[in-house]
Amino acid sequence: MATLIFTEALLTTGLGHLGRCTALAEKLLEEGESSIQMILHTDHTSSNWSFPCQVQSINWKEKNQLKEFLDEYNQTTDLSGFIFYVDSYLAELEIYNTLKDYCSELICIDDDCRLKYPVGSTILNPGYPGLYLEYNTEKYKILTGKDRVLLRKPFREKFEIPKRNIPPQKILVTLGGSDPHLFSEEILSLFVKNFPALEKHLVVGPGFTNEMKLKELSDKNTFFYKNLSAIQMRDLMVQMDFAITAGGQTTYELDRCKVPMVMIKTAENQEGNIRGFVEFQKGQVIREPNELLEILKNNFFHTTDID
């Protein structure tokens, strides 16, 4: 069945939703679906992204633009047989209602019960968060759990996982597309001061506003990365001995690469995901970057190892 995927990639939203919608498109193509388009609202944050399907850029969250797009599409192709997926931090309920009027099935990708979605929709919560939310199973079909996680193709393929160094020699810091709390500065400062011999690998998202400051804080063992493809990100992860990560989609990628990690919440909709990793996989979480020192000391280093 033909599919349209509606999502966004903005400096204010990061790239998590785009990552899992890319994975969704890849998965649908592998399952034999030949007609897939992604309808993307973007401010060019995604300009270096690799897409597996056709992409059309419009602000579909604006009702007039959305209806114009759908009506024009409907003139050549009957949308009533389509499945629509929607993955958004920002779309209002009115937009979901409009989309549902045009398609055969509306699948709402959700993290934290953000809206009361149109009755009869399917809610896909791909990961742990859906296990803790009280979705109305009489109004919606619910798909959730870790087995529903949408991983990009390089993370689903077979690949070699090398032996980790203990204590770690290479640490990855990956906080998503943006860093509104400037956690990257605190984390990098902590590592440069206390672990100068460690290799510190920091992924700088397109929404970071502090790149120059990070370079000022770095040392000779600090390495920065930008605009990584999925396979580049995977190959970087598998080399790492330890990671500090935001609590979103990247946690599942690190988990697939079997990289020990500490999570820090950078957005409210990560709460259920972090809770799942803590409860089901004994994951470790911090509230502030300065808590990292104690975790590393207790798990990897003796006090005398820390400068």
Tens digits of per-residue pLDDT, 45-100? 777 788 999 999 999 999 999 999 999 999 999 999 999 999 998 999 999 999 99
The mean per-residue pLDDT over the stretch 33-55 comes to 89
Q: Are the beta carbons of 82 and 3 closer than 8 angstroms?
A: yes
| Closest to 21 (Cα-Cα) out of 158, 129, 151 | 151
pLDDT-above-70 percentage for the chain: 98
**For 211-257, how does the pLDDT look when each residue is reduced to its tens digit (9 = 90+)?**
999 999 999 999 999 999 999 999 999 999 999 999 999 999 999 99
- Residue 205, judged by CB atoms within 10 A of its CB (0-12, 13-18, 19+), counts as buried
pLDDT at residue 13 in the model: 76
Answer for the pair 305, 160: CB distance below 8 angstroms, yes or no: no
pLDDT at 199 over 60: yes
pLDDT at 14 over 80: no
Enumerate the CATH 3.40.50.11190 domain ranges in the chain, comma separated. 3-150
Q: Which residue has the tokens 């944050």?
A: 45
* pLDDT (mean) for 19-43: 94
Task: Report domain 3-150's class.
Answer: alpha beta
Cα(60)–Cα(164) distance, rounded to whole angstroms? 45
HEC secondary structure over 256-301: HCCCCEEEECCCHHHHHHHHHHHHHHCCEEECCHHHHHHHHHHHCC
Res. 307: pLDDT tops 70: no
Mapping DSSP to helix (H, G, I), strand (E, B) and coil, where does residue 56 land?
Answer: strand
The token duo for 2 is 């033909």
Residue 168, φ and ψ in degrees, nearest 5 = -65, 150
Q: What is the chain's mean pLDDT, rounded?
A: 93
**What architecture (CATH level 2) is domain 170-300?**
3-Layer(aba) Sandwich (3.40)
Name the helix (H) or strand (E) containing 141. Answer: strand 141-144
Output the pLDDT for position 84: 98
**Other CB atoms within 10 Å distance of the CB of residue 264:** 24
Pairwise CA distance, residues 38 & 270, whole Å: 24
pLDDT at site 303: 46
Q: State pLDDT tens for residues 272-304.
A: 999 999 999 999 999 999 999 888 888 776 544
Q: Is-contact 4 107, C-beta < 8 A?
A: no
Residue percentage of the chain with pLDDT more than 90: 84
- Within the chain, which residue ranges are assigned CATH 3.40.50.2000? 170-300
User: What pLDDT, on the 0 to 100 scale, is given for residue 304?
Assistant: 44
- Of 11-25, 155-169, 180-194, least confident by mean pLDDT is 11-25
Does the pLDDT value for residue 114 go beyond 70? yes
**Residue 265 pLDDT grade (very low, low, confident, very high; cuts 50, 70, 90):** very high
pLDDT value at 11 more than 80: no
DSSP per-residue string spanning 82-101: -EEEEE-SS--HHHHHHHHH
Model confidence over 154-168: pLDDT tens digits? Answer: 999 999 999 999 889
